[in-house]
Amino acid sequence: MGDLSRRSFLKLTAATGATAAAPLTLNATAAEKVKTKAHIVIAGAGAAGLGVANRLANQLDGAKITIIDGKKKHFYQPGYTLVATGIKGSSYPTSGTSRYMPEGVDWIQEAVAEFDPVGNKIVTASGKAVNYDFLVVTTGMKLDYAAIEGMDVNRIGQNGLGSHYHSPDAAAKTWSAMSRFSEEGGQGIFLRPATEMKCAGAPLKFTFLTEHNLRRNGTRSKANLLYAAHSQSLFSVPIVHEKVRMLYEDRGIDTVYSHVLRKIDLDRKIATFDTPTGGSEIDYDFINVIPPMRAPDAVRNSPLAWRTGPFAADGWTEVDKYNLQHKVFPNVWCVGDIAGVPKGKTAASVKWQVPVAIDHLIAAIQDRTATSQYNGYTSCPLLTQYGRAMLVEFDYKNNLVPSFPGVIAPLEELWVTWVMKTMALKPTYISMVRGLA
């Protein structure tokens, strides 16, 4: 992928949201459609699945495309943090899956129960078998709240319990709980799981905005904030970790490392963390629980999952990290959260992964070899206070890959980045889901 391609998501966002100058090229005439009778099945109709379906529908002629997912609602998940911090209302992330479904695609409205890549077959929840020539796995992931002893998602919003990853409704309830905490003060605990996770910046953003909300309310002196990192760093990219560490120090947010939430007592408001020296109980008045994240059971228990290495325990799919093709089953690609790659569980990653996976899939249909690569690009507009954010973009090598070098500094708290996040990212995301951006 060219340099322009790598940067275009955020450049587009900036060009639309901030009227920043960006190099523009006239769109070349649409490429001729590839004729094929192949049956392509897409497992999952989230951002990645719909993006794949729309692009395949645009690029193929005669193919049978089937998408399998029981969810009728589509959630713009990057918006959850905005809901949980009172910036947007609870309806902001929600729309209908059918709104983005391309014409001519067969949508089986059921969950996938079983993958049988040896037999090139999927079995749905009702027991229906669906055979395929090519498979794209875009199931997303599972939030494993059950792994936290004592956790009850029905109590989100009550008694100081927040958990903004769960759903738009839970994000709104988290905002209610955080608002109360911001008025009353006390001990606030923030954390992230030890597993791979979607948008690893979101727990950090939420902490920053809670701190700012306390300042706005004039109650900062009544609150202690503690961020419990699961490892020895706050963020996997070392230079970003250092920046966040400095900002947390500046804002008076305490940090502890190697703390993983194991248990929570919702009545007594006590969180128990596993640490290298044993269990550690910490009282709280407000906590934002981010659960462990794993592959859905159907994937985890299938031959698609990694058997060894760091992605095996949670069942992420065994793919080549540069082209997202399955390493064992060459007619399978895995895109988005489900892909067992070192980075890439964000919408920006999906934006870059989808064209690469499709390029290779279509090349396979045509019996040729594609050369495009996904370099691990992902981005995180890291909100650091109401009205400002840092535009953090990086790749597999943990290199910062700023889209606007010399203009938008990646580790600078800027309004322009906030403008992009609040105004332009959602339309860009939706255009991506439609296969248009």
Per DSSP (E only), the strands in 240-363 are 253-256, 260-265, 270-275, 278-283, 286-288, 293-294, 332-334
CB closer to other proteins, 16 vs 163: 16
Stretch that binds other proteins, among 44-52, 202-210, 316-324, 402-410 (CB under 8 A): 402-410
Instruction: In whole angstroms, give the CA distance from residue 13 to residue 428.
Output: 6
CB closer to other proteins, 132 vs 206: 206
Catalytic residue among 197, 199, 237, 319: 199
Site for other proteins in 208-227 (CB under 8 A): none
Pairing mode, strands 60-61 and 34-35: parallel
Of residues 150, 186, 303, 427, which one binds other proteins by CB under 8 A? 427
Determine, following the binding rule CB under 8 A, whether residue 423 of this chain makes contact with other proteins: yes
Pairing mode, strands 134-137 and 129-131: unpaired
Site for other proteins in 17-56 (CB under 8 A): 18-20, 22-27
Looking up tokens 């606007």 gives 404
Shortest distance (Å) from residue 197 CB to other proteins: 26
Instruction: In whole angstroms, give the CA distance from residue 300 to residue 380.
Output: 27
Shortest distance (Å) from residue 316 CB to other proteins: 25
CB closer to other proteins, 88 vs 345: 88
Of residues 153, 363, 409, 411, which one binds other proteins by CB under 8 A? 409
Determine, following the binding rule CB under 8 A, whether residue 413 of this chain makes contact with other proteins: yes
Of residues 94, 275, 280, 431, which one binds other proteins by CB under 8 A? 431
Spatial CB neighbours of 420, under 8 Å, sequence gap ≥ 6: 10, 13, 14, 17, 18, 381, 389, 391
CB closer to other proteins, 256 vs 437: 437
Determine, following the binding rule CB under 8 A, whether residue 8 of this chain makes contact with other proteins: yes
Asked whether the beta carbons of 85 and 100 are under 8 A apart, the reply is no
Determine, following the binding rule CB under 8 A, whether residue 437 of this chain makes contact with other proteins: yes
Angstrom distances, CA of residue 59 to CA of 36, 62, 143, 277, 362:
10, 10, 34, 56, 9
Angstrom distances, CA of residue 341 to CA of 199, 336, 372:
14, 10, 17
Of residues 1, 147, 270, 363, which one binds other proteins by CB under 8 A? 1
Determine, following the binding rule CB under 8 A, whether residue 412 of this chain makes contact with other proteins: yes
Sign of CA dihedral 81, 243, 288, 388: negative
Instruction: In whole angstroms, give the CA distance from residue 318 to residue 377.
Output: 19
Pairing mode, strands 286-288 and 112-116: unpaired
Q: 3-state SS string over 117-135?
A: CCCCEEEECCCCEEECCEE
CB closer to other proteins, 193 vs 336: 336
Shortest distance (Å) from residue 358 CB to other proteins: 10
Alpha-carbon torsion angle 77, 82, 88, 91, nearest 10? 20
Neighbour-count burial of 406, counting CB atoms closer than 10 A to its CB (0-12 exposed, 13-18 middle, 19+ buried): exposed
CB closer to other proteins, 151 vs 424: 424
Shortest distance (Å) from residue 298 CB to other proteins: 31
Stretch that binds other proteins, among 119-127, 276-284, 290-298, 406-414 (CB under 8 A): 406-414
Task: Write the single-letter amino acid at 100.
Answer: Y
Shortest distance (Å) from residue 5 CB to other proteins: 4
Residue 426's CB: how many other CB atoms inside 10 A?
A: 19
**Count of residues binding other proteins (CB under 8 A)?**
43
Of residues 238, 387, 397, 399, which one binds other proteins by CB under 8 A? 387
CB closer to other proteins, 1 vs 123: 1
Determine, following the binding rule CB under 8 A, whether residue 436 of this chain makes contact with other proteins: yes
Active site residue 334: no
Order of strands across the sheet that contains 270-275? 260-265, 270-275, 278-283
Looking up tokens 């902001």 gives 92
Shortest distance (Å) from residue 27 CB to other proteins: 4
Determine, following the binding rule CB under 8 A, whether residue 129 of this chain makes contact with other proteins: no
CB closer to other proteins, 199 vs 433: 433
Shortest distance (Å) from residue 437 CB to other proteins: 5
Instruction: In whole angstroms, give the CA distance from residue 210 to residue 222.
Output: 13
Catalytic residue among 68, 380, 408, 414: 380
As annotated, the active-site residues are 199, 380
Would you tell me which residues interact with other proteins (CB under 8 A)?
1, 4-5, 8, 11-13, 15-16, 18-20, 22-27, 87, 355, 386-388, 407-409, 412-416, 418-419, 422-424, 427-428, 430-431, 434, 436-437
